[in-house]
Each structure stands twice: as structure tokens, then as C-alpha cells.
Structure 1
Amino acid sequence: MTIGNLSHPIKIRSLQLTQDPVTGEMVEDWADLATVWGSIQGVSGREFLAASAELAQTTHRITIYHRDDLTPDMRLVSGSTEYQVKALLPQNDRFLMTVMCEVLS
């Protein structure tokens, strides 16, 4: 993949505890951690059928620059589409990484 293909701005979100200013109650909410550039591709039908049952719901492959702080419990957002991270697949050179995701409805 060439760097020019990383043309989509993608927000990385993490679930964080914050305090409600009115009630003082601690609530969980998604907070933006960073915005990175990436490539978003739909998973083909052949890959869909070949996937294990655990990854059968994976619908998109997102390629971004390698990040050590990205975990499977985070979300990625591009435009109005929100993706749940399912698997992190770093490449051998640790320059780019592939993130297998599922679109949240």
C-alpha cells in the first residue's frame, strides 16, 4: 500500500469515565483520542466466507499508521460511520497496521 492511499481522516475514540457536572455521577462516554489518516476497504465476499466464526461479522479493513496505544475496545469514526475494532493486525515493518472492524448501527 502506498501512503497516498491513506486519504480518510479517522478519529480514534476510547471509552472514558467523566463526572457529570450537574449530578456529580461518574458516567462512561466515548472521547476522541486522536485523528489519523487511513484507508477504508470493505471485506470481499470470499474473505467473508473464509473468516472464522469469531470474525464473521467483520465488514471493513482499515489501514492506518502503526500505533501502540490502539486496543480492541476502542472505536474508529470516519464521517458519520462508526466502527467497532475487532482485531489489530500489525505489519512486519511496524509502519502500518490493519484494523479489522464492524460497522455499528
Structure 2
Amino acid sequence: MRAGDLRHRIKFQKLVSGMDPETMEPIEASWVDVATVWAAVNPLSGREFNQAKSVQSESVGRIVIRYRSDIKAAMRCIHGDRIYNIQAVLPDPKSGREYLTLPYSEGVNDG
């Protein structure tokens, strides 16, 4: 992987929920920053479709980052004002520890 390909600054977030320690009531889940890294963001395709009597749009693509052990498919990425929902975390085919490929979707269920 060439360092010049990693030209986008992205932020990973995870959904955190819990309980209020005083009242023991559930706290509304919120997205919390986990890491900020350099990445290659590559859009692949997009589509429009009807759902719930409205027109929705969705784009898909992939994000490539250097290997990290703390990235999970339940997280999301923020790049500028765009939200990318991570679909999977795929290690590189040779060593499995050089880089990660993260297929994403955007536009439907932006969290």
C-alpha cells in the first residue's frame, strides 16, 4: 500500500449505550469517537429506490486503512459531513496485518 493513496482523513465512531449510575435508567445510545486515521475512500456505485413511500438513495464503496485491531463492522466512519456505515472488516490477503479493506454503504440508515 502506498502512503500517497491514503489522502482522506476519516474518523471512526462506535455506538455506546449504558445506564445512569444514579437512577439506573438506560441512557440514550450515542456515537463516540474511537480513532482518526488516514484512508483511501473509493466510491464504487450508487442507486435510487422506493422504500416506505419515499425515494431513497444509497452509495457503496470501500475504505482502505493501515491495519488496526480495534476496527469492527459495528462502527461507522465520518469523512467531512458524510457518514459511512461499515459492512465488513477484511484483512489483506497476504499477511492479514498490513491493511484493512472496509466495504461501506452510505445514504440509508445514516445512524
Match of 2:69 in 1: 68
The aligned residue for residue 2 of structure 1 is: 2
C-alpha RMSD of the superposition? 2.5
Instruction: Report the alpha carbon displacement of residue 25 of structure 1 after superposing the two structures with TM.
Output: 4.7
Q: How many equivalent pairs are there?
A: 94
**Residues 51-88 of structure 1, C-alpha deviations (whole Å, 9 max, x = no match):** xxxxxx77111000111111111101100000000011
- Secondary structure of 2:16's counterpart equals strand
Distance 1:98 1:12 in 2: 14
Give unmatched runs, 5+ long, in structure 2: 47-57
In the superposition, the TM-score normalised over structure 2's length comes to 0.72
Q: Which residue of 2 aligns with 1:103?
A: 106
Whose helix proportion is higher, 1 or 2?
A: 1
Residue 104 (structure 1) shift: 3.3
Give the number of the structure whose alpha-carbon radius of gyration is greater: 2
Paired residue secondary structure (1:4) = helix
Per-residue CA deviations over 1:4-56 (Å, capped at 9, x if unaligned) read: 11011110000012567xx86511000111101000001258xxxxxxxxxxx
Give the AA of the match of 2:99: L
What is residue 88 of structure 1 aligned with on the other side? 89
2:49 is matched with: none
Gaps of 5+ in 1: 46-56
Question: Could you say which structure has the higher strand fraction?
Answer: 2
CA 1:58 to 1:95, structure 2 compared with 1: closer, same or farther past 3 Å? farther
* TM-score (norm. length: structure 1): 0.76
Measured in 2, the distance between the counterparts of 1:44 and 1:29 equals 29
Moved segments of 4+, more than 3 Å: none
Instruction: Trace 1:16-95 onto structure 2 (pairs within 5 A).
Output: 16-17=16-17, 25-43=26-44, 59-91=60-92, 92-93=94-95, 94-95=97-98
Tell me if structure 1 keeps the 8 A contact 2:43–2:59: no
